[in-house]
Amino acid sequence: MTVDLGRKKVGKVEITTGAVLPSNGSTQSNKTGGWRALRPVTDHGKCTACGICWVYCPDASRFKDKDGKYDFVADFCKGCGICADVCPVKCITMVVEEK
């Protein structure tokens, strides 16, 4: 499939048709974890590695740690607390971020 992005300059700004970008994965380079007010702290002793937090996380910000238990991705987690809410063994605590 040949794609024509319709690149053109409007004044000093380069744009494409409908703002389509000729790349993907920009959400990985734009770190958004700084929006977070609460941090999910996981008790790996209690975690059963069921993966429910990973399923429910709306931001793909849960990952399997080296010990096979789940933890959060600091660069992207926004601290919504859904993981803590859905965890069946309640091993995630939301803790206020402090500078």
Partner 1 sequence: MKEVMEASHAVADAVKAIEPDVIAAYPITPQTHIVERISEFVANGEIKSEYIAVESEFSAISACLGAVATGVRAYTSTSSQGLALMHEVLFITSGMRLPVSMTVVNRALSAPINIWNDQQDSISERDVGWLQLYVETAQEAHDMTIMQHRISEDRRVLLPSMVCLDGFTLSHVYEPVDILSKGEVQSFLPKYKPVHAVLDPKEPLTQGPIGFPTHYMEFRSELVKAMEGSLPVIEEVMADFSRTFPVQIKDSRPEKYYHVEEYRMQDADVVLVAMGSVCGTIKEVIDDLRSKGIKAGLLKLITYRPFPAKLLAQKLAPYKKVAVIEKAISPGSRCPLYTELAEALYDSKERPALRSFIVGLGGRDVTLGHIEKIINMTLKGEGAKEEWMF
- The residues that touch partner 1, with contacts defined as CB under 8 A, are 1, 3-6, 10-11, 13, 15-24, 26
Distance in Å, CB of 57 to partner 1, minimum: 21
Tokens coding 19? 């703002």
Burial class of 35 by CB neighbour count within 10 A (0 to 12, 13 to 18, 19+)? exposed
Smaller CB separation from partner 1, 30 or 99: 30
Distance in Å, CB of 32 to partner 1, minimum: 11
The half-sphere exposure of 36 on its side-chain side, counting CA atoms within 13 A, is: 25
Smaller CB separation from partner 1, 22 or 45: 22
Tokens coding 77? 């987690």
Smaller CB separation from partner 1, 18 or 45: 18
Q: How far apart are CA 50 and CA 91, in angstroms?
A: 12
Smaller CB separation from partner 1, 26 or 96: 26
Distance in Å, CB of 99 to partner 1, minimum: 26
Distance in Å, CB of 95 to partner 1, minimum: 29
- The CB density around residue 87, as the number of other CB atoms within 10 Å, is 22
